Structure 1
Amino acid sequence: MVQDLANSALVREEETLQPLAEQWSGTVTKLEMISNELNTNYQKTVVEPMKKFSTIMPSTQTAVKKREQSLQEYSRYLAKVEKYREKERTGPNVVKLDAARKALLWAKDDFETQNSVLTGELPRFYERRIDYVQPCFQALIKSQVKYYTDAHNFYTDLSRQLSGEKDDQPSDVYNQRIQQKLAEIRALSITLDD
């Protein structure tokens, strides 16, 4: 839009509009640059760290599933041992009971090992995720503050340039000029007084 305005016939014909259009175009260019910088900072501070963090989640979920499978296996062997205890004590049943007890001990050790690792590591993992994510969002917030501060300053400067206000001109003098211009506009026969 700014480029269309800067290249329009009206701006080229009217000498006073050309510098204003160029100032506006320059401000828009600056805003595009800081907008690109904000997008780059967003990629670096949020997107890339979250991608790295998300690679950890599948291995954590796999460990939890493996623990659940180990618990199911332990429960299954426990049920087998109980089943063989209730049966009559014959030779084959005693052999099956001993085999089930050995499998139960193995399944119990496997489950307890996995359970102790997860119960120790998962709370630390969940506590540290905040330590990992918080600096990312702090950096993003700082980038946004810088972006919006710069954008505000650019628009303020552009507003002063377009209105002809000088930095050393007091705001009450500027307001008087505005009121004077509005009075001149009201004096025209094409406007209505309120």
Structure 2
Amino acid sequence: MSFWNSTKKTVSKAGSGLRGGIVGGSGGALASSDPEFNEQEQRYRNLERRAMRLLQETKDYRGSIAGMTTAQRALATNLTAFLLDVQRPQDYQAAYRQAATNIDQTSQVQFDEVYVHTVLEPMAQYCGYLPEFNKAIKKRKALHDDLEKARKTLAKEQGKAAEDPMGVERAEQDVQYAESAYNALNAALIREIPKLINSRVYVVDPCFEAFVKSQLQFFKDSLQQMDSVTRFVPSQDGSGASDDDRILNERVVGVMNQVRGLRICSFNM
């Protein structure tokens, strides 16, 4: 089994139980104070903001890798075209162009497939639960408004109980129903939000591990592709590295001085 396939299988196992661990019924009608819910909602909002930012950054990173390999390949192609009539550097131009093409068409494609499966999709799946919690929080507010409305109606009916005794009974039933619905959802949110927050560990940990491994594999593959170009580059043994850089800089300065010495360039000086 290749590295890429084994990495995808590992992350798939890690995230398989996420849905069952978070999404469930609303449970019994347990009363809950607003301060307790407010605390959990604040924790949820912090999680939501950070999770969506992390998801966007995972998308941006994927795009940056693809953009980098595409730009590298384009640079290699245009470098060859720029020096098409120069005989001496054609060998290393061809080697670099081939290496850049292999990185863009093979190494990057393999990295992208694993990255999407082990990093981007699990994060997107996790963030996909957030709209459901937002709907539940919005519904809780609506149920709270219904409860307040039912209580006001009951107070009015109690004020005219002598005229319509059955009206008070109906209003009391409406209040009981509204309280039951509100308390059930309120308790469910207080119970489920911490589960959602805690479950992020079981998503991020395997994703981050897969991200590091796939990143290392991508750069390793890219380095292997670039090895075909290194034989055209003067070796540096450490002690002579500064001398090589100095010689290269002197050559560049010499060439630029020759360019500045051209008659057409002197017109702009």
TM-score normalised per structure 2: 0.54
72 and 37 in structure 1: CA distance in 2 versus 1, 3 angstrom threshold:
same
Choose the corresponding residue for 2:134, options 61, 80, 84: 61
Q: 2:102 aligns with which of 26, 30, 33?
A: 30
- The yes-or-no answer on 1:163 pairing with 2:233 is yes
Render the CA deviation track for 1:103-129: whole Å, top value 9, x for unaligned. 111111121222222211111112212
Q: After superposition, what is the alpha-carbon deviation per residue over 1:60-94, rounded to whole angstroms, capped at 9, x for unaligned?
A: 22222222222211111112222233x244131x2
Structure 2 residue 162 is the aligned partner of structure 1 residue 90:
yes
Counterpart secondary structure, 2:130 = helix
Q: Work out whether 1:140 is the aligned partner of 2:211.
A: yes
- Measured in 2, the distance between the counterparts of 1:186 and 1:77 equals 86
* Matched residue type, 1:56: Y
1:70 and 2:143 are equivalent in the alignment: yes
Matching residue of 1:18: 90
Query: Unmatched 5+ residue regions in structure 2?
Result: 1-74, 259-269
Aligned-residue identity in percent: 19
Report the RMSD for the aligned CA atoms in angstroms.
3.6
| Residue number in structure 1 paired with 2:48 | none
Give structure 1 stretches of 5+ with no counterpart. Answer: none
1:113–1:176 Cα change, 3 Å: closer
Letter in 2 for 1:30: N
SS at match of 1:91: coil
2:76 matches 1:2: yes
* Distance across 1 between alignment mates of 2:251 and 2:216: 40
* CA distance 1:70–1:164, shift in 2 (3 Å): same
Decide which moves more: 141-150 or 127-136.
141-150
Moved more, 177-186 or 114-123: 177-186
Structure with greater helix percent: 1
TM-score (normalizing by structure 1) = 0.70
Q: Give the 3-state SS of the residue equivalent to 1:163 in structure 2.
A: coil
1:42 is aligned to 115
